[in-house]
Chains A and B, each alone.
Chain A
Amino acid sequence: MSDLQEGRSGRPNRSDESTTQSPDEETQLPSRRRKVAGRLIRNRLALLGSGIVLALVLTALFAPYIAPYDPVEQDYAALEQPPSLEHPFGTDTLGRDVFSRVVFGAKYAVFLGLVIVGFEMLLGVTLGLVAGYYGGMVESVIMRVVDVALSIPGVVLALAIAGMLGGGLIPLVIAISLVGWRGFTRLVRGDVKGVMEEEYIDAAKGAGVSDARLIVQHILPNVASSIIVYATLTIPTVILWAAGLSFLGMGVSPPTPEWGALIANGRGEIDDAWWISTFPGLAIMVTVIGFNVLGDGLRDALDPRQSEL
């Protein structure tokens, strides 16, 4: 096999025959991206995942146009109605349209997923880069903090933080972010260690490249793909956590149509009005599956061993 691979790398100048423009020093590498995109499209499951995620994002963006009712408007003439043409997902104990509430819930799911994962990445990736790059004492200290943090069960930690800060959206974001960054740190630090073994890092040092530029220009792009995959796979976890904490009453406050809160809301009526909890639950499930499948697909598409072959 190695024979074959070398044979193929021994065949230069195939793609981008047209690239003869001036060599802008910041030129990107389109051929690789195109390859990754091509691979992703060929993977049926990943395509399904992307479809679900896209649908979710569109739903979140255009919620007011999609939802037939105001999600918080109470209609005492239609309490606990089963699914019908008028109310596809039925209505809840206060006569609110469950479908509209689920649609608006997508806004919260997307917002919480992105913002929380964003915070986790900011903290986790930065610490991981620093730990992996500098090594020694710096690394030991950071990794010991990670170890200690990991030894506390996440739920307990998140509940404690959320409880301390009181309920609401911001405390929810902070609580989950403070639990989730540790995974990013571990992942990035390990990857950085691997990249540091590569000769191009030595070459860059020999070229007098500063630490900051080395980290940002040379190391980060080479660990980016695993960060992207991990982030994609973390979003559903975060959505689940947010729903869980809201379910337990530590998240967003009652009238807000957050999925976890919706499930909690219908909890007491599950025997009489199963639709109140079930539809938000299905929404969570589909979303989680969508992100997971997309994440797996991304991993396959970005896997360096695959991209070589």
Chain B
Amino acid sequence: MTDPLLAIDDLHVHFHTEEGTVEALDGVDLEVYGDEVVGVIGESGCGKTVTMLSVMGLLQSPPAEVVGGSIRYDGRDLLTCSESELNEIRGEEISMIYQDPMTSLNPVLTVGRQVSEVLLAHRDISKRDARERSVEMLDACGLADPERLMDEYPHSLSGGMRQRVMIAMALVTEPNLLIADEPTTALDVTIQAQVMEVLRELRSDHEVSIVFITHDLPLVSEIADRIAVMYAGTVAETCSVERLFDRPLHPYTRKLTESIPKLDQPATRLPSIDGTVPSLVDPPDGCRFASRCPQFIGEECRSVTPALTDVSGTGRHEVACHLYTDVSEASPPWPVDDEDRTAQQPTAETDDGGRR
């Protein structure tokens, strides 16, 4: 196996706030290989954005503090890079697109200026070349009449167009890694479909690895090769998209996939997860999902933090759960809904639908 492009290892990030220290990330491990799309999913507060801001070196400190771990990009440890070294990497080799296209473009500069500025900052090229290159990129992002668009101001663009401009800005320097933080959340579903189409095309045209952060599992499964599921500042499970649907292992992942209303399923009662995410100020010891876990197996869950370990032996399927610490017993012996306390209706039929 080749070396990963990006390797996050045991990353710990704390936020110092009035109410105490928020342990936002508690040992996050994540690897992104060349030409791979990794979907990072999780609910609000799970640390997915914080992880990627750490990669970009964009965490505001204070209140944030990286207390441990390393982030290696292409052999360099980003956490020890100076600000100027980071500036060279950011935009040139790693780019990021953000959730809200309405606020991430500067309203007083033309689209052309903003796109070509990225190029001029990182490349030794003339303004004319930068403009030409920008026009090509806007065109590649599916924007009609890019020449005219170059002289427009952001306010005259719709949300979907702005997000495509953002994508063009992020990709104009042909970075190796693109971090997309909920890039379609603010968009309507038909526009979301357009943007996803652009991302898919760009991915096949350019060799770029993408980290796609989202809370929308069906959406990310359209584009990702591999999924990392995060929960309360930890990575619960990483595996291929197929395995995530066929054979999710972590109890949280299973619950999460079940609680999504599905289009191709009759309306039944939705399984939900009891309880709430634990406080990250002084979080519980052991597995952070223990208090809500339907497959809680005892003291071990409450006292020992499960490590993210490979359970498949062959492929890359890692899970952080004590159920699987003994690899020989890796295959889950129970049907998913057996211990569900809230749902009565779910039957074999719904199970099949979800995990086909």
Contact = CB atoms under 8 A, between A and B. Distances in A.
Contact of A11 (B18, B49, B63, B278): B278
Contacts, number: 54
B71 to A, nearest CB: 17
Contacts of A2: 49
A198 interface: no
A3 B276 contact: no
Contacts of B279: 11, 14
A7 B44 contact: yes
A4 B233 CA distance: 10
Given A8-B17, A14-B19, A309-B17, A3 B280 contact: no
B48 interface: yes
Nearest to B43: A10
A107 B47 CA distance: 56
A4 B19 contact: no
Nearest to A3: B49
B66 interface: no
Given A3-B45, A6-B45, A11 B281 contact: yes
A1 interface: yes
Contact of B22 (A7, A12, A35, A38): A7
A146 B127 CA distance: 51
| Interface SS of A by simple majority | helix
B24 A10 contact: no
Task: Give the size range of A's interface with the partner.
Answer: 10 to 19
A38 B19 CA distance: 11
Nearest to A7: B45
Interface residues of B, number: 23
Contacts of B19: 8, 14
B293 interface: no
A11 B276 contact: yes
A3 B59 CA distance: 12
Contact of A7 (B18, B53, B63, B280): B280
B241 interface: no
B48 A3 contact: yes
Interface string A1-45: 111101110111010000000000000000000010011000000
A10 B50 contact: no
A12 B276 contact: yes
A38 B47 CA distance: 29
Given A1-B60, A3-B50, A10 B45 contact: yes
9 contacts: A3-B48, A4-B15, A4-B45, A7-B24, A7-B277, A8-B17, A11-B280, A12-B276, A14-B281
Nearest 6 interchain pairs by C-beta: A7-B45, A6-B44, A3-B49, A11-B279, A10-B45, A6-B45
